[in-house]
Chain A
Amino acid sequence: MVNHGQFVDDMAADESLDLRGIPCPQNAAKAVVKLSTMMSGERLHVRVDDGEPVDNVSASVEGEGHKVVLRRQQADGSLPTPTWHLLIEVDGQTSTTEDPS
């Protein structure tokens, strides 16, 4: 179980994918392909860009039957826009927790 507000890192997930800089819908497709190789209940940590990608990737993976269980924004001083972290559960049934920070 991921606690509300807890920072998502690679340790909290079974797999991770950095999709920053990848346009839509290629970013979502990469996530869908990765999720298809994982077992039910496993979790994928995805980094995506701010703006459309975070919503598009979330909607796309949920459209394939997975669940975004956590979304968290984090500023990265080296990048012009903040990074979003998504924790996605394969075939997940857990309710989504959005970190407002």
Chain B
Amino acid sequence: MPNYSAINFDQAASSVVDPRVAERVAECFRLELANNSSIHQAGVRAAAHLENAREVIAESLGLRSSFEMIFCSGGTEANNWVLHALLNQETLTSASAPRPHYIVSSIEHSSIRQPAIWMARRGWIDLDEAPVDADGVVRLNELEALIRPETKLISIMHANNEIGVVQDLRAIGEIARRHKVLFHTDACQSYLKTPINLQEIHVDLLSINAHKCHGPRGIGGLFVRSGLELEPWFRGGGQERGLRSGTPAVELAVGFAEAVKCWSSWPSENPRAASVSEYLQELRKKLIDHVLGELPMARLNGPRSGPVLPNIVNFTFLGLEAKPIMRQLDQLGFATATGSACSSGKLTTSYVLRALGRRADAQEGLRLSFSKWHTPSEVARLGEAIVQVVNRLHDEHARFNSQ
């Protein structure tokens, strides 16, 4: 296999595992933990590792009780669980039962959007999409107007994975509470990057995962507000309060908690003065200023400042597709992402950018996402590479069109 050592500016897809987390997980595996459901002392020790991890994560979200956090495999599982958990047998089998109505935003992650569309096509739910403004912020008046007596769930992501826009959970939670509708938010991208205190805002259900915040893949969680009765997702041995049977991945949960503990600190070999969030914001601003200053055809998708994650930037370049840019950046040693999937070689448009009302030729965005390990000089080199690649493709495009 050829040597591949690109600088990874695709951290929003999956962030690099913090070396301290990797060491903690390895150490935990070396402990040869027993099954955490066994009541012998070895089982109790394994369970204590799990509960300790649960408490660290619960504290990071301001939970009243750590029992409100249910471990699962990640954000996709947690999101699918929420959508399915509010259906009951009566809904599915009785023609007279009113069909539940769900509202999701028009820019949800595919792990909400796809199962919700699938459920609506099967006739299990009625589905509405809450529109967003040109920056991707949910239009609250229009969201509220969609609520009707059958509305069971509002699911609106905290921060969008393509453009980083952050929604006002407090305001949406108040609308949900006023109408007695459950409110779920997918916080996989935002967790730790922007503060969430679940004692201060009204959220019933919240999905998180570890691998977006320098933790291991394969572990995540669903916050289930105390008193909320949710249908079990997996039935079996009764683990995780009987809601998600199956032996939990204790070692990964310990790694998740370690990632939470390490999030706001720099690795000792790489100390920096600013807070992690401030540092990421500085990198973001530097890249935006560079690219918009050099390339008149560049457009920033999502807010330039304000309600936006500090680690995500998304550009479109008028007249150019993002995938060739991404591929050429890859050849120059920069791993980046486009905002939409490529299926069977056919470029698709980004439903997120369409929801923002972007022009039809803005097929997809180029997403750059940082971690605290990136240096200002690496970001400067990325900016130079983007300018170089976009100018080259733009010139080629102009020559081709003039022939």
Contacts and interface: CB of A to CB of B under 8 A. Distances in A.
Contacts of A33: 48, 51-52, 55
B37 A25 contact: yes
Interface residues of A, number: 15
Given A23-B238, A56-B39, A60-B41, A28 B67 contact: no
B238 A28 contact: no
Given A22-B67, A23-B238, A29 B47 contact: yes
B51 A26 contact: yes
B15 interface: no
A63 interface: yes
Contact of A25 (B36, B52, B67, B238): B36
B70 interface: no
Contacts of A28: 39, 44, 47
A92 to B, nearest CB: 17
| Main secondary structure on A side of the interface with B | helix
Interface in A48-73: 56, 60, 63-64
Interface in B47-80: 47-48, 50-52, 55, 67
Contacts of A29: 36, 44, 47-48, 50-51
A32 interface: yes
Contacts of B45: 32
A33 B46 CA distance: 11
A22 B65 CA distance: 12
B43 interface: yes
A25 B38 CA distance: 7
B34 to A, nearest CB: 10
Contacts of B51: 26, 29-30, 32-33
B58 to A, nearest CB: 12
Contacts of A22: 67
Contacts of A30: 51
B44 A32 contact: yes
Contacts of B52: 33, 36
A64 B41 CA distance: 8
A24 interface: yes
Interface string A13-24: 000000000111
A22 B98 CA distance: 35
Nearest to B41: A63
A14 B316 CA distance: 59
A36 B48 CA distance: 10
Contacts of B41: 60, 63-64
A62 to B, nearest CB: 10
A60 B44 CA distance: 7
A33 B44 CA distance: 10
B39 A32 contact: no
Contacts of B36: 25, 29
Contacts of A63: 41, 44
A33 B238 CA distance: 21
Nearest to A60: B44
Nearest to B43: A25
A66 B43 CA distance: 17
A25 B55 contact: no
Contacts of A24: 39
Nearest to A23: B238
A36 B52 CA distance: 10
Given A25-B47, A28-B44, A29-B51, 20 more contacts: A22-B67, A23-B238, A24-B39, A25-B36, A25-B38, A25-B44, A26-B47, A29-B44, A29-B48, A32-B44, A32-B45, A33-B48, A33-B52, A33-B55, A36-B48, A36-B52, A56-B39, A60-B39, A63-B44, A64-B44
Interface of B: 36-39, 41, 43-45, 47-48, 50-52, 55, 67, 238
10 smallest CB-CB distances across A and B, nearest first, come from: A29-B47, A29-B48, A63-B41, A32-B48, A60-B44, A29-B51, A25-B39, A25-B44, A28-B44, A33-B52
